[in-house]
Structures are given as structure tokens and as C-alpha cells.
Amino acid sequence: MRLQQLINKNRISKKRKKKAKAFDYAPHRKGVIYKIAVMSPRKPNSARRTFAKVRLLFNNKRLFAKIPGIGEHYLQTHSIVFVRGHGPKDSPGINYHLIRGLCDFIKLEPYGRKNRRSKFGVKKLI
């Protein structure tokens, strides 16, 4: 840019993109489940993905969040949960994950996980 252009108008900095739009720059938010459902993922994959419809407590926004882990979770309507960003890639429209071990989402998972255990609340085997 020429000097005269900068004298007339300042440089405009690009606006920062929100990572988790519903959270307003926060990494996690608390919400209440109002429905639990099951869906099948996008084309190359096939399974039954459990997800929850969650209403955030701080701004009443409604969103879809994946229920992580294998099998049982004991979640039901009116359970209070902690939500983080980044949903599964193969499920369209689900952009968030629930966090295990906080609020009403039970920590223990009844399977012998060795990899990625901390995400699912499994104790380390010695």
C-alpha cells in the first residue's frame, strides 16, 4: 500500500472467527438435555450414533451433542451436562460433544480402554 492510501484510511484487521459459535469464545458450557436420539452416520461408515439435544443454560441456545463412549450412559431428559466443541465428522449437524465425568454424565465406562482413556474417564491400568 502507498503512504497516501494509509493516510486516508487505516488498515482493517480481519475479524477473528468464533470456534464454538454457541459458546461465545468459551471452551465449554453447561446445558440441559431435552431429548436423546439415535442416528446413522454419513456414507462410508455405518453404526448407530447416540446424540442429545441440549439447551445451553447461559443463552438458551439449542444444539446437538454427541454422547461419547461405548454402550450405557444413564443420561435422560433434564440431565445437566457439560458440552465442548468438535463433533464427529461423519454425523452431519452434530457439532459438539458431551464431557464425561462432569455434572450428571457418569464417568465410569464399563470397557477396558487402554488408548484415549482419559477422554472416557477410565482409570490407568498399571
What CATH code is carried by the domain that includes residue 92?
2.40.50.140
| DSSP assignment letter at 89 | T
- In this structure, how many other beta carbons lie within 10 angstroms of the beta carbon of residue 93? 9
Is residue 76 situated within a structural domain?
yes
Find which of 14-23, 32-41, 63-72, 83-92 is predicted with most confidence, using mean pLDDT.
Answer: 32-41
- pLDDT at site 50: 92
Tell me, yes or no, whether 13 lies in a domain. Answer: no
Domain that holds residue 64: 21-117
Kindly state whether residue 36 falls inside one of the protein's structural domains: yes
In a domain, 12, yes or no: no
pLDDT band at 21 (very low <50, low <70, confident <90, very high): confident
Domain membership of residue 35 (yes or no) is yes
Is 71 a domain residue? yes
Within a domain: 4? no
Rounded to an integer, the average pLDDT of 93-118 is 82
Q: What is the mean pLDDT of residues 24-31?
A: 89
Q: How many independent structural domains does the chain possess?
A: 1
DSSP codes, 57-87: TTT--EEEEE--SSS-----TT-EEEEEE--
Residue 106 grid cell: 457418569
d(Cα 12, Cα 64) in Å, to the nearest integer? 35
Q: Is residue 1 part of a domain?
A: no
Contact 67, 47 (CB under 8 A): no
